[in-house]
């Protein structure tokens, strides 16, 4: 997969992406990264690419022409007009399914804005996707683009050393990930759950699934309606709604949520 990032700070992207999993994937040729410095396409010849906003107001706006020239440079390099993601708080919030969708692209371009934003006219012409990584404001699009590229890269075949880890981690199947443990068995008087030491793979898988369901209920209940629940899942959630056996702790509001959720599944 080929990433292209249109930015005012290419060194920030380069230093961040050439490390860890993405760095190793680039070394193997599974990913490529090309940064395009929008300043190189300034129409003034001095590297400036911003100007005052029409209508007044604080701050500066990135001009349309340098951004468009940088984009055309990418198009000429690739040979076609690629999908372009503009990082903006006004976009759709990024999520795991979106990462899987973007991972199917051969070429993907990210446009990083700064100042008060980018002239709307060039966005209308070149942007195919408007994406946010959360409801907060950052200095520019560089950090969001790296967050997205990291998540997308993990969905590219061969990038992870164990592909299964990309399928079973948090948000797979709309569930948060189950808790993980490693040696020693006893740490600060806290022991590893006995089921994980049993060697019984079926019991381990069931425990992990139950833990994932429980964690999602406690931390992200909004995800549960989108989970495909089998017979054993429904049995476990019914136990939580009825008695909440140890070591689980479920408040009445959560129990009522589970009862409604299970009632919908029973009708389906």
Query: Are residues 190 and 150 both part of a single domain?
Result: no
Higher pLDDT, 187 or 167: 187
Query: Are residues 48 and 98 both part of a single domain?
Result: yes
Distances (CA, A) of 74 to 50, 71, 244: 21, 5, 57
> Last residue of a domain, which of 134, 164, 194?
164
As a whole number of angstroms, the distance between CA 196 and CA 221 comes to 26
As a whole number of angstroms, the distance between CA 21 and CA 100 comes to 17
As a whole number of angstroms, the distance between CA 159 and CA 162 comes to 9
Query: Are residues 38 and 157 both part of a single domain?
Result: yes
Query: Are residues 110 and 45 both part of a single domain?
Result: yes
pLDDT of 223 strictly over 60: yes
Q: What is the DSSP letter of 17?
A: H
What value does the mean pLDDT take over residues 63-67? 97
CATH of the domain at 185: 1.10.1270.20
pLDDT tens digits for range 109-160: 999 999 889 999 999 999 999 999 999 989 999 999 999 999 999 999 999 9
CATH of the domain at 158: 3.40.1280.10
């Amino acid at each position: 997969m080929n990433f292209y990032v249109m930015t005012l700070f290419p060194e920030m992207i380069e230093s961040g992406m050439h490390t860890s999993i993405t760095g190793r994937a680039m070394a193997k040729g599974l990913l490529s990264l090309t940064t395009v410095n929008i300043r190189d396409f300034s129409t003034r010849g001095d590297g400036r690419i911003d100007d005052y906003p029409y209508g007044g107001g604080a701050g500066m706006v990135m001009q349309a022409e340098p951004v468009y020239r940088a984009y055309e440079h990418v198009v000429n390099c690739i040979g076609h007009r690629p999908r372009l993601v503009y990082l903006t708080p006004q976009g759709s919030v990024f999520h795991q399914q979106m990462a899987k969708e973007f991972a199917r692209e051969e070429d993907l371009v990210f446009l990083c804005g700064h100042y008060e934003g980018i002239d709307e006219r060039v966005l209308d012409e070149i942007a195919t996707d408007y994406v946010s990584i959360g409801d907060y404001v950052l200095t520019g699009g560089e950090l969001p683009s790296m967050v997205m590229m990291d998540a997308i890269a993990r969905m590219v075949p061969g990038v992870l050393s164990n592909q299964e880890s990309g399928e079973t981690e948090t948000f797979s199947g709309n569930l948060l990930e189950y808790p993980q443990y490693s040696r020693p068995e006893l740490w600060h008087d806290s022991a590893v759950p006995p089921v994980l030491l049993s060697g019984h793979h079926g019991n381990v898988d069931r425990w992990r699934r139950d833990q994932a369901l429980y964690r999602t209920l406690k931390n992200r209940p909004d995800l549960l309606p989108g989970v495909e629940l089998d017979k054993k899942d429904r049995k476990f959630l019914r136990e939580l709604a009825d008695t909440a056996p140890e070591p689980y702790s479920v408040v009445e509001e959560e129990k009522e949520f589970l009862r409604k959720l299970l009632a919908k599944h029973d009708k389906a």
